[in-house]
Structure 1
Amino acid sequence: MASEEYVERVLALVEQIPPGRVSTYGLIAEALRHSLGSGGPRQVGAVMALHGGGVPWWRVVRADGTLPDSHGPEARQAYLGEGTPLRRSGAVDIEAAVWLPPLDPATVPGT
């Protein structure tokens, strides 16, 4: 179970992702690992599953640009509305859309 601080930091980072851009579970985990020393992509995914409804959850994708199938239709509408670059498959074009969270602990929210 993630600490309250970890949950707050994940959600704060997700809120920073600009419209039309995405980050990955792994990139967010890496940014928090630099400042908190723990966590991984699965922990970020668990935070998003339990607490991510109030943030732009569709902006956090797997490393291959996909989301779980259950999120597809709603996320696709958000991507189209925000102009997020997509591949023909419907997955996000990571190379064109990636947003890198800050790795400097002084710039991560809550530090």
Structure 2
Amino acid sequence: MARNLSNDLAYEILSVVEEIPEGMVTTYGTIARLIGHPRNARLVGRVLAHAEDYGDYPCHRVVNHEGRLAPNWPEQRFLLEREGVPMKDDTHVDLADTLWDGR
């Protein structure tokens, strides 16, 4: 985990991830906005890269703003497809009907 990143902030991010319904996805930027740090999507990504240090969270439901899957994580696509999330192509989810905005 990054040295200056507080555990409270990490748990705040992960608590949002925990709320993403099965079969839906959200973006790093949406999570950043929901926790009051709208310009810190990369921070969200850093936390999610180390989420296993905090417990079991459905991080596979988080994609970038274009719906692109995380690079070097082939299991993400499998996990999303198993939940019924439609794919646009090999590396992107179809955000049209599956984007969760926190409401």
Q: TM-score range by the shorter chain?
A: 0.7 to 0.9
* Structure 2 unpaired stretches of 5+: none
| Secondary structure, aligned partner of 2:11 | helix
Q: Residue by residue, what CA displacement relative to the aligned partner does 1:58-102 show, whole Å, maximum 9, x if unpaired?
A: 10100111122211x201111111001211344111121100125
Matched, 1:21 2:15: no
Q: Which amino acid in 1 is paired with 2:34? A: A
Contact 2:27 2:62 in 1 (8 A): yes
**Contact map agreement 2:86 2:93 (CA 8 A) in 1:** yes
1:40 aligns with 2:51: no
Query: 1:4 is matched by which residue type in structure 2?
Result: N
Deviation at 1:50, TM superposition (A): 1.5
What is the alpha-carbon distance in structure 1 between the residues aligned to residue 96 and residue 9 of structure 2?
Answer: 27
Check if 1:5 corresponds to 2:8: yes
Contact 1:10–1:44 under 8 Å retained in 2? yes
* Sequence identity percentage: 35
Structure 1 CA distance for aligned equivalents of residues 92 and 39 of structure 2: 25
> How does the TM-score come out when normalised to structure 2?
0.84
Q: Which runs of 4+ in 1 moved over 6 A?
A: none
Q: How much does 1:3 deviate?
A: 1.5
**Counterpart secondary structure, 1:80:** helix
Amino acid at match of 2:100: W
Q: What amino acid is the match of 1:96? A: D
Higher helix share: 1
Cα RMSD, aligned residues only: 1.8
Greater RCO (CA < 8 Å, at least 6 residues apart): 1
Greater per-residue strand proportion: 2
SS in 2 for 1:70: coil
Length-normalised TM-score, structure 1: 0.78
Mapped partners of 2:38, 2:7: distance in 1: 13
